[in-house]
Chains A and B, each alone.
Chain A
Amino acid sequence: MNATEIHALAAEVLAGIAPEADLSTVREQEDLREALDLDSMDFLNFVTGLSQGSGMPIPEADYPEIYTLAGILRYLAR
């Protein structure tokens, strides 16, 4: 996936979890959980959506790598 696709996927998944959250207001290095007030369930749903949309398994141990938008872009581009 390229950066545009990853960004679109993240925004789409997020819209289903936190409809009023706006990804465009979040800085790349900001922790999404704090910036968008995602709780544990929200974040798991976010991971689930990213995994299903990208085809990557995203094991639990890798969660810290995708706490930020920059991290997600890096991780899903692998």
Chain B
Amino acid sequence: MADFTMPALGADMETGTVVEWKVRPGDHVRSGDVIAVVETHKGAIDVECFLDGTIDDLVPLGQELPVDAVLASVRGPESAAAPAAPAPTTSVPPAALPSHLPVAEAPTAPMHPPTSHRRKVSPAARHHTQALGIDPDTLSGTGVEGAVTLADVARSAHAAPTAAPAGPSITPANTPTRPRGGFDPDQMRRAIAAAMGRSKREIPHYYLRSTISFAAAQSWLSAWNRTREPAERLLPAVLLLKAAAKALAQFPQFNGLYVDGQFQPAPPVHLGWAIALRGGGLVAPAIHHAQNLPLPALMDALRDLVQRARAGGLRSSELSDPTVTVTSLGDRGADEVLGVIYPPQVAILGFGRIVERPWVVQGQVLPQAVVSVSLAADHRVSDGHLGGQLLAAIDSALQSPDTL
């Protein structure tokens, strides 16, 4: 018997609320299955279970519970035939993977198509449904894949509230004012503030910055995109991300977690990708094993993550697994960014906007596409000398785009 517990979806999460069970008592679960939807300050997250066996003792929906609280028990296959003993809730060894460690062995499978069975709701619409006490599930969505948009919420607010049937998996009496997936921007802001405050208090940051020529990468990218349909085209961010992931794989001192006074390097690069949410806020879900993904697969992963970060459907492993963060400001951002490390990670890389600047090539000043790359890293784990080598490795990778 093992416990399925409330996962810590990042250092800034203290509590969560199960708003949907995707299994029933007695169901068989397998490691990697999404079995619950938990509402957090990052919105509604699909929570995976990394246990095998028969699930039972599900907590009721709608209770706000702390991280590590027992949500259900899972009876392993070997003891499945034994009579079900009352579930001990205190002396059970934590058989579930510690949620703050990278789940290297788990079948991460980042390429699953976005789950379409769950209603997609834009964060702005979520916020309004919560304010109005409406369950977004009861609305008809007019966005892509039936997503509920702000306009849909506005329309429904004029309709009689009693006409809306309650969601099938929520006990209405239990959660009258807490619709599933309620997303609260204020709560997210407080959580970001807490995590960044802790980072600035605890982590002795140092910062490095380089300017890198993006000319070779740009011409490779243009040639790639010229012969392809828009859906198969790549964004510059994909090349930056891959170059960063390859360099991080060479310098393990920047990829891992600082826990209990010790740095734990993480061999796989589970690269947290910072995604700005419309209406404010930020999440940095993991692209698992980013250093091994070919560019088109990385592009698909990015597109999928951005879509799910904004519409709902991020998975718990994506929020608990990142070993390092990369932020890229895109084509309308600032020229450079110096990041704040997301604890317990030990580094964050930041790419500015790609800009044309005068650049000296073999004694000649030429206009050239360049990009600023910065590193903020933890002095408890590394020094600027090594950080400089990491930035040089990113530069080098971007000069040979065909090998990315």
Contact = CB atoms under 8 A, between A and B. Distances in A.
A62 B235 CA distance: 15
B230 interface: yes
10 contacts: A16-B145, A19-B143, A19-B147, A19-B149, A40-B235, A40-B236, A44-B230, A44-B233, A51-B230, A61-B226
B74 to A, nearest CB: 37
Contact-size category for B: 20 to 34
B225 to A, nearest CB: 5
A16 B122 CA distance: 10
Interface string A41-58: 100110110011000011
Contact of A39 (B150, B151, B231, B276): B276
A59 B230 CA distance: 8
Interface in A15-36: 15-20, 22, 33-34
A37 interface: yes
**10 interchain residue pairs of minimum CB distance:** A16-B144, A19-B149, A19-B122, A48-B230, A20-B150, A20-B124, A19-B143, A40-B330, A39-B330, A51-B230
Interface string B235-272: 11100000000000000000000000000000000000
Interface in B188-242: 222, 225-226, 229-231, 233, 235-237
Contacts of B331: 39-40
Contacts of B144: 15-17, 19
Given A16-B147, A19-B124, A39-B276, A59 B226 contact: yes
B112 interface: no
Given A33-B332, A41-B303, 19 more contacts: A17-B144, A19-B124, A19-B148, A19-B150, A20-B124, A20-B125, A20-B151, A20-B278, A22-B151, A34-B332, A39-B332, A40-B331, A41-B306, A44-B233, A44-B235, A57-B229, A57-B230, A60-B222, A60-B225
Nearest to B149: A19
Interface of A is mostly: helix
Nearest to A34: B332
Contacts of B83: none
Contacts of B145: 16
B279 interface: yes
B230 A47 contact: yes
Contacts of B143: 15-16, 19
B181 to A, nearest CB: 14
Nearest to B236: A40
Contacts of A39: 276, 330-332
B142 interface: yes
B397 interface: no
Nearest to A58: B230
Contacts of B302: 41
B303 A45 contact: yes
Contacts of B226: 59-61
Contacts of B125: 19-20
Given A40-B237, A40-B331, A41-B235, A15 B230 contact: no
Nearest to B120: A19
A20 B149 CA distance: 6
A16 B307 CA distance: 10
A19 B306 CA distance: 14
B34 to A, nearest CB: 23
A22 B149 CA distance: 11
A52 B150 CA distance: 25
A45 to B, nearest CB: 7
A20 B152 CA distance: 10
B309 to A, nearest CB: 11
B278 A15 contact: no
Contacts of B233: 44, 60
A41 B149 CA distance: 20
Interface centre among B149, B236, B331 (most CB of A within 10 A): B149
A33 B276 CA distance: 15
A62 B4 CA distance: 52
Contacts of A57: 229-230
B149 A15 contact: yes
A52 B231 contact: yes
Contacts of A48: 229-231
B67 to A, nearest CB: 31
A15 B235 CA distance: 22
B330 A15 contact: no
Nearest to A56: B230
Most chain B Cβ neighbours within 10 Å, of A19, A20, A40 = A19
